[in-house]
Amino acid sequence: MVEFFYVLFAVECRKLDDAEVKRKFQKFNIDYPQHKWDFNQFKEFEEQLTGYPIDIAISREEIGFFEDEEEAKKSARANIVDYNDGGCYNYGMVVKVPFGSGYPYYSEYNEFWLFKFNPQTRTYEDEDFDADEFTRSIRARYDTFA
């Protein structure tokens, strides 16, 4: 029986401009009118909640499922099915998850591998989670046990 499987994600990580951060604050005020927070209170709350700066946006999309770790990593590096999607997804990530479990993406058994898109070769290259503000933010967003 398979104990783990590997999920390949396309990950977008980008800086928000001031107008986008302002819209995020305005949306929070609409969604949660009971909080009468100023921007600094909202910013502090948001950064404590997420673990990364308020002016970074992160999203992901599942691209593939694999039984073999090396095949998942090879597929991530090779940019299978052109998952960079015209420049939208600047990172790829492989996550090892336990098979047959609830909330598998949030398991303490998960392992993560990160890849950064190289536009010259149109492939992804291994990236360290501590390389910069973006990679640290991706780890904070998805590795709940880091």
Q: Which CB contacts under 8 angstroms, 24+ apart, belong to 73-77?
A: 73/113, 75/8, 76/8, 76/113, 76/115, 76/124, 77/115, 77/123, 77/124, 77/125, 77/126
- pLDDT tens-digit readout, 15-70: 999 999 999 999 999 999 999 899 999 999 999 988 899 999 999 999 999 999 99
pLDDT of 99 > 90? The answer is no
Please give the pLDDT value at position 111: 87
Q: What is the mean pLDDT of the chain?
A: 90
pLDDT of 74 > 80? The answer is yes
Please give the pLDDT value at position 95: 92
Q: Name the pTM for this structure.
A: 0.86
Arithmetic mean of pLDDT, 2-20:
93
Please give the pLDDT value at position 75: 95
- What contacts 89, CB < 8 A, 6 or more positions away? 10, 11, 12, 61, 83, 117
The DSSP 8-state label assigned to residue 85 in this structure reads G
pLDDT of 85 > 80? The answer is no
Of residues 52 and 104, the one with the higher pLDDT is 52
Q: Where are the domains of the chain?
A: 4-15+57-142, 18-50
